[in-house]
Structure 1
Amino acid sequence: MSTIYIVKEIYIYPIKSLAGISCQQANAEEMGFENDRRWMLIDAENQLITQREHRILSQFYPQISDGKINITFKDQTHEFSIAENLNNPIHVDVWDDKSEVVEVNESTSKWFSEQLGFECKLVKIIKSGDRKHESSQLKETFNVSLADGYPYLMIGSQSLDFLNEKLADKITILRFRPNIVIGTQTAHEEDDFTTFKIGEVQFKNVKPCGRCIMVNNDPENGKLKKEPLKTLSTYRVVNNSVLFGTNIVGLNSGVIRVGDEVVF
């Protein structure tokens, strides 16, 4: 009898490096889930801002309702429309890729600047093709969002369970910021998936995801810890990269839901 893999959790992260949103279903698009990492913060020099340098970003919590995104940080809130932008093209680097973005509005940039204590702007990627990412593994170029590299990150449940067996202080899947969590039988078997279908969407596996110091940032309090990278580095290092989860791309648009089966 073949193994049945079921989608257990779905997440989107509207603004790069801020907290995510748990979803029961999501619209899959070429660039990733709808509203997933379409926005990010940049500094006065138009450099991207992430949790790697600013762990406090994990304490900004977005919610989406009625075409608006509401951000809560401590006792402060701010809201802006998903559709709004100033139509002023800004050219930025997202790691090794060039991207064109636009500022959302001046009041939103001012609010984030006040909360973070330095000048910044909230910007948005508008359309498919405004950022392209070349896969050295597949020798293909993909239209992507403002995610680090690929549109989707998938993690199997047993990968986390196997890690937690080795940790004194257990962690949640939120450390790894997945888009799709599936129930698995064996740790890291998702690394070996090739092409598969979830709901209406065909996916292709690109490569396991190399992890950075950001996974040591506890999203509950924004404090940097030694784990899980310390333990992962004892058994998940390949070519000097610590691997956890796998990067995938969608081959068509459609809806996927919690409870959907992974079909090969």
Structure 2
Amino acid sequence: MKVTAIWVYPIKALRGISLHNAHLGPQGIKYDRRFMLWRVGEDGGLSKIQLDRYPQCSRFVQEIVGDEIHVRYQPPSDPLVPPSPEQSVVLRVPLDPDVSRLERQVLNLHQGMVNGYRMGSAYDEWFTACFGFRVVLVYIGDERRPVLGTFSPRAQPVAVPTQQGWLSYLFSYIWGAQKPQSEPEPDWLTFSDMAAYLVASEKSLSNVNARLSSGPVDIVRFRPNIVVDGEGEGEFDEDFWAELSIRSRPALAMTKMCNRCTSLNVDYETGRFGEGEKGMVLKKLMSDRRVDKGSKWTPVFGKYGFLVDGLDGLDVAVGDEVAVTKRTSERPVSDWQYKDESIARFYRYT
């Protein structure tokens, strides 16, 4: 196989940036999902802005220019909100803002808690004018979100020590007490949903498009980080990938399958959910792609991954050779109960 596309999303939920080459780090492609937008409720509380609820995110184009993210709002031909002067302004967001004077904000994304930084009124007012409701832009800085469940190969202990009770064992694991020197630090996330990477296959995309008589959809709807052609592999073969090597070097530990939502139905040209078959992509997958026993009501497309043990980083480019070097005999089972508020926690490690 070969890498056919690389995507990064500095501000989560907005259109991705296509790259020819990128640096892979433990938390994803450099600058991926370092910023996130939140809607301000009438009571002042914040709720996450993602494509499955806010399809208008698809009308924001971002690019990296020097040490900034340049964001442009592109109103569709059928406007979503009344025009305003801000909508024609290019918003410039520093990639590495000075956080010393920024207000802190506690956030909960899929029960992974983090204390981020509000970027300030100038950014909030621009996005508010484009969305038509109050929005704040938040930066994660050096803060960390925990990986819950077993989505990461380093998220859970392998076994419970036989001479230690469950209570004391869990205390030592969660709080970092008496950790063996050889035990790696648990993985952590920025504003990525549940893993550092999402890999998708063009071979599987062709299966999806064969279900649509009105014309194909682009891989951008599936919002991957790395796309491979899948040549020589079966459709949806990625369900069983356990490790990918890039240029003959073990690179990505593939863990869970990606359960999809209504973001697949977004029409990027209109900023709304699609009409006709354009708004039925998720439904088209329901018949035979609900294959995750841990999330049986949602179809699967793509595979989550993290860097393999011992790898701190790797440069990758479109055209690089990719090989499946480890497989599983059964599909993995999702165990991140992202709707269960009782499991919400911050990242903990010493």
TM-score category of the 2 structures, normalised to the smaller one: over 0.9
Aligned residue runs from structure 1 range 159-170, under 5 A: 159-169=204-214, 170=216
1:153-174 Cα distance to aligned partner (Å, 9 max, x none): 1011110011111111210101
1:233 aligned residue = 286
Separation in 2 of the partners of 1:221 and 1:228?
Answer: 16
1:181 aligned residue = 227
2:128 aligned residue = 113
Separation in 2 of the partners of 1:172 and 1:162?
Answer: 12
> Given the alignment of the two structures, is residue 249 of structure 1 paired with residue 306 of structure 2, yes or no?
yes
2:36 to 24, 37, 40: 40
1:14-40 Cα distance to aligned partner (Å, 9 max, x none): 111100000001111111111111100
Separation in 1 of the partners of 2:39 and 2:298?
Answer: 28
- Following TM superposition, by how much is the alpha carbon of 1:103 offset from its aligned partner in structure 2, in angstroms? 1.6
2:242 to 164, 188, 194: 194
1:188-231 Cα distance to aligned partner (Å, 9 max, x none): 11221112222566110111100011111122322213321111
- Following TM superposition, by how much is the alpha carbon of 1:124 offset from its aligned partner in structure 2, in angstroms? 1.0
Report the TM-score when normalising by structure 1: 0.92
2:141 aligned residue = 126
Percent identical among aligned pairs is: 26
AA of the residue aligned to 1:259: G
CA contact (8 A) 1:13 1:37 kept: yes
Q: What secondary structure is seen at the aligned counterpart in 1 of 2:187?
A: strand
Separation in 2 of the partners of 1:205 and 1:212?
Answer: 20
Aligned residue runs from structure 1 range 133-172, under 5 A: 133-136=147-150, 140=156, 141-169=186-214, 170-172=216-218
Unaligned runs of 5+ in 2: 75-87, 157-185, 326-350
Separation in 1 of the partners of 2:272 and 2:6?
Answer: 25
Cα 1:168/1:95, change in 2 over 3 Å: same
1:214-256 Cα distance to aligned partner (Å, 9 max, x none): 1111223222133211111112112222000111112331211
1:30 aligned residue = 26
Separation in 1 of the partners of 2:245 and 2:139?
Answer: 29
Q: Mean alpha-carbon deviation: is it higher for 135-144 or for 20-29?
A: 135-144
- Following TM superposition, by how much is the alpha carbon of 1:136 offset from its aligned partner in structure 2, in angstroms? 3.1
1:13 to 5, 9, 23: 9
Separation in 1 of the partners of 2:270 and 2:117?
Answer: 31
Aligned length: 259
Task: Tell me which structure has the larger Cα radius of gyration.
Answer: 2
1:56 aligned residue = 56
CA contact (8 A) 1:25 1:255 kept: yes
- Following TM superposition, by how much is the alpha carbon of 1:102 offset from its aligned partner in structure 2, in angstroms? 0.7
- Following TM superposition, by how much is the alpha carbon of 1:106 offset from its aligned partner in structure 2, in angstroms? 2.5
Q: Mean alpha-carbon deviation: is it higher for 75-84 or for 134-143?
A: 134-143
AA of the residue aligned to 1:91: V
CA contact (8 A) 1:131 1:144 kept: yes
CA contact (8 A) 1:25 1:257 kept: yes
Separation in 2 of the partners of 1:208 and 1:72?
Answer: 32
1:68 aligned residue = 68
Q: What secondary structure is seen at the aligned counterpart in 2 of 1:150?
A: coil
Report the TM-score when normalising by structure 2: 0.70
1:89-135 Cα distance to aligned partner (Å, 9 max, x none): 211000121112112232111111121122221111112x5211123
Separation in 1 of the partners of 2:287 and 2:240?
Answer: 20
CA contact (8 A) 2:102 2:120 kept: no
